[in-house]
């Protein structure tokens, strides 16, 4: 796998094709616990600023740092009552979502997990080794979705093989592993 500084630089460049990126200081964090160093570095160096990326189904959304704590609503606490939700792990921080399905930075493992909402129990699985890897991969997928337009899927609404292969190749170039790229693309539901 490529080194993190290279992926961080690529993530910033790739995200900038979908919206605004800017360095955001740790003072923008409004949470009740200290912002993990990896998250602080992600916002300082990659800097997604309320970026929406087209997806195969729902779009991906990466909030700015100043809104990150409020983004925990519905996961960490009840959206109407503010009551702490018991099944949410204290070490989880939602850093992006896809139609309400959270991408979670795990403060213990320092990896990015993904979970489906509405299943009754949170069972996130590791999807990315780092925040910059997540951002780069989602940006690549979104770029392919945008470029393919209505040609992205076949008559059964499945990703066309040429777009799947393009995604695997593009992600492998950034992360340095074809096998990991295939797992990421498969995890995104691209077959």
SS (H, E, C) 3-27: CHHHHHHHHHHHHHCCCCECCCCHH
Average pLDDT over residues 13-24: 98
Residue of 7, 95, 97 whose CA lies nearest to 52:
97
Mean pLDDT, the chain, integer? 93
pLDDT, position 81? 81
pLDDT one-digit tens code per residue, 26-66: 999 999 999 999 999 999 999 999 999 999 989 999 999 99
From first CA to last CA, the distance across the chain in angstroms is: 23
Average pLDDT over residues 140-167: 97
CB atoms inside a 10 Å sphere around CB 83: 9
Q: Which residue has the tokens 């087209």?
A: 54
pLDDT, position 153? 96
pLDDT, position 48? 98
- Continuous segment of H or E residues that includes residue 99: none
């Amino acid at each position: 796998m490529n080194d993190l500084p290279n992926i961080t630089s690529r993530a910033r460049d790739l995200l900038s094709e979908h919206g605004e990126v800017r360095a955001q200081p740790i003072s923008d964090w409004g949470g009740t616990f200290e912002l993990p160093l990896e998250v602080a570095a992600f916002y300082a160096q990659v800097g997604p600023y309320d970026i929406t990326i087209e997806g195969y189904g729902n779009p991906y959304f990466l909030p700015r740092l100043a809104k990150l704590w409020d983004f925990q609503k519905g996961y960490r606490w009840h959206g109407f009552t503010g009551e702490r939700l018991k099944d949410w792990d204290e070490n989880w921080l939602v850093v992006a979502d896809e139609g309400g399905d959270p991408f979670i930075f795990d403060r213990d493992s320092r990896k990015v997990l993904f979970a489906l909402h509405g299943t009754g129990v949170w069972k996130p699985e590791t999807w990315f080794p780092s925040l910059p890897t997540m951002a780069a991969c989602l940006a690549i997928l979104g770029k392919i979705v945008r470029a393919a337009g209505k040609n992205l899927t076949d008559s059964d609404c499945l990703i066309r093989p040429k777009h799947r292969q393009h995604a695997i190749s593009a992600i492998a170039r950034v992360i340095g592993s074809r096998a990991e790229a295939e797992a990421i693309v498969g995890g995104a539901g691209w077959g």
